[in-house]
């Protein structure tokens, strides 16, 4: 029962990533994000997290301890990467926010 819940949860996380990708693409198209592909990392991390979560449920410890633990460690690593990506993204936005009201110096404008 619990393993089935992990599989369904993994499918839901993967499906959620489609909505995240759609919304981020809309924001990027409106000019709210950089046109580069950096924002695509977030939905990709969610897809991998969903696959790893489903893998933890699909491969019980009694079947293969190695595969089960690899999926669990992969899930933790993707979550950690997502947290770092969001934290550093927020820090960059915060720094831009702090310097937004600063007048442009003549030397800065030429650089």
**CA atoms of 2 and 87, how far apart (whole Å):** 32
56-94 residues labelled b (16+ CB within 10 A) or e (exposed): bbbbeeeeeeeebeebbebbeebbebbeeeeeeeeeeee
Is pLDDT above 80 for 10? yes
pTM of the model: 0.73
Which pLDDT belongs to residue 97?
67
Please choose, from the candidates 46, 37, 44, 59, the residue with its C-alpha nearest in 3D space to the C-alpha of residue 11.
Answer: 46
Task: State pLDDT tens for residues 42-101.
Answer: 888 999 999 999 999 999 999 999 999 999 999 999 999 988 888 877 777 677 666 666
- Rounded Cα distance between 106 and 5, Å, is 60
How far is it, in rounded angstroms, from Cα 58 to Cα 52? 10
| Residue 85: per-residue pLDDT | 80
Mean per-residue pLDDT, 4-14: 94
The CA-based angle 90-15-2, given to 5 degrees, is 105
Q: State the pLDDT at residue 78.
A: 93
pLDDT at 96: 67
pLDDT band at 30 (very low <50, low <70, confident <90, very high): confident
Confidence of residue 12 (pLDDT cuts 50, 70, 90): very high
């Amino acid at each position: 029962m619990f393993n089935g819940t992990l599989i369904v949860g993994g499918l839901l996380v993967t499906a959620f990533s489609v909505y995240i990708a759609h919304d981020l693409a809309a924001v990027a198209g409106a000019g709210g994000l950089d046109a580069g592909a950096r924002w695509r990392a977030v939905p990709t991390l969610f897809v991998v997290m969903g696959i790893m979560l489903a893998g933890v449920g699909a491969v019980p410890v009694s079947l293969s301890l190695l595969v089960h633990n690899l999926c669990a460690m992969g899930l933790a690593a993707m979550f950690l990467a997502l947290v770092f990506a969001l934290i550093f993204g927020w820090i960059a936005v915060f720094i831009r926010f702090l310097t937004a009201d600063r007048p442009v110096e003549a030397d800065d404008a030429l650089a």
